[in-house]
Amino acid sequence: MAIVRFLIRRILTGAVVLWIVATAAFFLFFARPIATVAHQLAGRAATPQVIAEVTRNLGLNQPILVQYWHFLDKLVHGNLGFSFYTGQSVNQMIKQDLPPTVSLVVGGVVLWLIAGLGVGIISATRARSLFDRFSAVAVLIGISMPVFVIGELLLLVVFVPLNQHGFHWIQDQYAGPSAGIGTWIGHLILPWITLAAVQAAIYTRLTRGQLLDVLGEDYIRMARAKGLSERRVVFRHGVRAALTPVVSQLGVDVGQLLGGVIVVESVFGLNGIGQVSVQAIYTDNLPVIIGFVILAAAFVVVANLIVDLTYAILDPRVRIA
């Protein structure tokens, strides 16, 4: 019963957050002189009449509150509107651009969890060892590297030489799994590494710090005292407790990333949510921008909800209220 009430309340607050984000995005972009869009659409030597007609067709001549009302009306019916330029529906665009982003995030998550958790656990159990020192340096380099620098360097030192020597498996651009799993991986392996490198650094640091804290707790000493093997102490008693913040971080990150991995997508030309929304921003394509912002916010809201639920499962002390 408590969980139902919790879910209802969270879904309601989530809806309010989405409404705030949508409204903020709407008015933020409406503040821009929309005339530029009509000008561009109407062509180079457009007469004022043509521009006026284009503006009317797009519905941009109506008062802002009327437009806002139409926008909200469509939104609650699940219609995010149509692109100013191509007339394509935003829902359709999302369906089309989501697969590259999801592929990128899923593969990236797998890579960075393996690397981050693995290195983090080893570093924490062997604090101040040579391994720990090396991993600390690697973590710092990862954190200090802007994502696009990693991407460009990978293109420079992996993609270019391999393709010059006639080895064409690793590619940029996106190819779906339907083109064959091997092709899919070949097209995404560099983006995955790029995305995972920075995240793995953050997760290593987080896991190591949490596990070090937990391993200093009394109940760990207790577990050791009753003669459990070190492996059991670390994994059953240590890692499980240390993972809770890692899980919550993972949820937030996945939510953020599904809304568009702008930089990685731009570097490798993946044409996912992120890259398309940046293009929409360049061209003042209002419905597309708002649609994608709402989508991104929805992912964040849902991810937070899932995190809270997982928390309750992982940590029995957390009560859902």
Partner 1 sequence: MSITQLEADAQAAEGAPEQAIEGRSQWQLTWRRLLSDKVAVVSLIIIAIMVALAIAAPAFAALTGHPATTAYPNTGESAAGLPVGPGTNGFWLGTDGTGRDLFVRILYGARISLFVGVVTTLIATVAGVTIGMIAGYFGGVVDTVLSRFVDAVLAFPYVVLALALAVVLGPSLTVIMGVIAFFSWAGISRIVRGQTLSLKEKEYIEAARSLGAGPIRIMFVHILPNLLAPVLVLSTLYIPQAIIFEATLSYLGLGIQQPTASWGNILGDAQNFYQQAWWYVVFPAAALLITTLAFNLLGDGVRDAMDPRTERLFAAARRRKADRARRKVGKRGDLPAASQPGEA
Q: What is the DSSP string of 208-262?
A: HHHHHHHHTSHHHHHHHHTT--HHHIIIIIIIHHHHHHHHHHHHHHHHHHHT--H
User: Which of 189, 183, 176 is CA-nearest to residue 108?
Assistant: 189
At residue 82, what are phi and psi to the nearest 5 degrees?
Answer: -130, 145
Interaction of residue 29 with partner 1, rule CB under 8 A: yes
Stretch that binds partner 1, among 1-9, 94-102, 113-121, 289-297 (CB under 8 A): 289-297
* H-type alpha helices, 31-146: 35-42, 48-57, 64-76, 90-125, 130-144
* Angstrom distance (rounded) from CA 212 to CA 206: 10
User: Which of 245, 263, 258 is CA-nearest to residue 307?
Assistant: 245
**In the set 18, 21, 196, 242, which binds partner 1 (CB under 8 A)?**
21
Burial code of 231-269, b = ≥16 C-beta within 10 A, e = fewer? eebbeebbbebbbbbbbbbbbebbbebbbbbbbbbbbbe
**In the set 127, 179, 318, 320, which binds partner 1 (CB under 8 A)?**
127
Q: Which is nearer to partner 1, 10 or 53 (CB)?
A: 10
Q: Which is nearer to partner 1, 115 or 211 (CB)?
A: 211
Residue 139, C-beta contacts closer than 8 angstroms, at least 6 positions apart: 201, 204, 205
Interaction of residue 64 with partner 1, rule CB under 8 A: no
Q: Which is nearer to partner 1, 50 or 212 (CB)?
A: 212
Q: Using CB under 8 A, which residues numbered 221 to 240 contact partner 1?
A: 225, 230
Q: Using CB under 8 A, which residues numbered 69 to 108 contact partner 1?
A: none
Interaction of residue 293 with partner 1, rule CB under 8 A: yes
| Shortest reach from residue 200's CB to partner 1, in Å | 16
Interaction of residue 302 with partner 1, rule CB under 8 A: no
Distance set, CA 306 to CA 31, 206, 236, 298, 300 (Å): 35, 20, 23, 12, 10
Interaction of residue 296 with partner 1, rule CB under 8 A: yes
Q: Which is nearer to partner 1, 66 or 153 (CB)?
A: 153
Q: Which is nearer to partner 1, 107 or 260 (CB)?
A: 260
Q: Using CB under 8 A, which residues numbered 38 to 57 contact partner 1?
A: none
| Shortest reach from residue 250's CB to partner 1, in Å | 16
Q: At what angle do helices 90-125 and 273-282 cross, to 10 degrees?
A: 120
Interaction of residue 214 with partner 1, rule CB under 8 A: no
- Cα dihedral 35/38/43/44 (nearest 10): 0
Q: Using CB under 8 A, which residues numbered 128 to 187 contact partner 1?
A: 128, 140-141, 143-149, 152-153, 155-156, 160
Interaction of residue 267 with partner 1, rule CB under 8 A: yes
Rule CB under 8 A: which residues touch partner 1?
17, 20-21, 25, 28-29, 31-32, 127-128, 140-141, 143-149, 152-153, 155-156, 160, 212, 215-216, 225, 230, 256, 259-260, 262-263, 266-267, 274, 277-278, 281-282, 284, 289, 292-293, 296-297, 300, 304
